[in-house]
Amino acid sequence: MTLFDRYLLRTFLRVLLVSFISLTGLYIIIDLFGNLEELLAYAEREGSLLQVVASYYGARVLSFFDRTSGLLALLAAIFTITWFQRSNELTAVMAAGIPKCRIVRPLIAASVAVAVLAAANRELGLPPVRDKLGRNAQDWLGERAQRLTPRRDNRTRILIAGRATVAAGRQIVQPSFRLPAAFAPFGRQLVAREASYQPAGPEHPGGYRLDGVTQPANIADLPTGYADDQPVILTPRDHSWLAPDQCFVVSDVTFEHLGSDAAWRQYASTKELLGAVRNPSLDYGADTRVELHRRFVQPLLDVTLLFLGLPLVLARSSRNLFVAAAQCLLLMLAFVVVVLTCQTIGNTVLVSPALAAWLPLMVFVPPAYVAAARRWE
């Protein structure tokens, strides 16, 4: 790496960090004033307002970076080149016989590194804080009851329903699991006081433990219910770890799958999305498949956006930073509109999910290549 490359990279990183810190700080300040009363109430229980604010906004900073990484990289690259032009350094370097493609090479490498960092954040940073991102300041601890939308386990055909869910304990309040005809000895449904999701352990697979079962009333006397030779409804008669008024319903529909599908898809890792698509108990449609393909396309889209934006600056005779920023924002707006439009038609099954996710690349890569070939000679 030459001295010239290090000079450009330092400018790029300064602009990137200043832009990210400024936008993130503005977002936190605006949101903090709107939720200050709730956060102060939580601070009285947790012991420190700083601790609550750090925990609440720490997860949201990762989400904010995920949404703005492509724009930030483009802004940093355009500002670096514009500043280079403004100080007449670009003219001097080109007069020395250095082509534009050589000048922008470190900026391209830095933008690719930002795209890779954003991809790593999606896979490693966001999934562990998914629960925090799914809660607002009014229910930060997940103690409020939320409406439960019934979801069917497609493998066992059991409809998981109830009055509400409580995220803190991964509980269903007043569950009523509607049963198919294969479980006729249990009646038409299982009704209990509450149900809690239990991950797989040595005594049972993953599923829901129902406490205070009231229907059927003789749950302790019934044998375990099977579907396709697999135990599904475990009863106290055959499993000593269950109390007389308990039963256990085996299900691959986890507690997270009972919440918001959109939030889960957005913050799940690629491995989790693949597992959900292949899970026979779930019925995720085209929108999840579009999101899965988008994970592979997004880093390429971030780099493509850079190749669209840099030629605009290199072709300009003006050296106004504000004009460069305006052009960058307009380009980003058009780019986002096309990407969201493609995802929408993929979610509505007008085209295949794979085509919907990859279509923006087909639209933008040719003009990006032509613009770069003309301006970087």
- The mean pLDDT of the chain is 86
pLDDT in tens, 88-120: 777 677 777 777 777 788 889 999 999 999 999
Sequence spans of domains, the chain? 3-134+287-375, 144-259
Which of 35, 40, 42 has the alpha carbon at shortest distance from 168?
42
Tens digit of each residue's pLDDT (9 = 90 or more) over 40-51: 888 877 778 888
What is the pLDDT averaged over residues 24-52?
85
Residue 321 is predicted with a pLDDT of 62
Q: What is the mean pLDDT of residues 248-267?
A: 82
Element housing 11 (H / E): helix 3-46
Which tens digits make up the pLDDT trace of 143-190? 788 888 888 898 899 999 999 998 888 899 999 999 998 898 899 999
Point out which residues pair with 189 in neighbouring strands. 178
- Residue 345 in this model has a pLDDT that exceeds 60: yes
Asked which of 204-218, 223-237, 275-289 is least confident by mean pLDDT, the reply is: 275-289
Confidence at 197, pLDDT banded by 50, 70, 90:
very high
Phi and psi at residue 219, to the nearest 5°: -60, -30
pLDDT in tens, 52-76: 888 889 889 999 999 999 889 988 8
Which of helix, strand or coil describes residue 153? strand
The per-residue pLDDT for 265 is 80
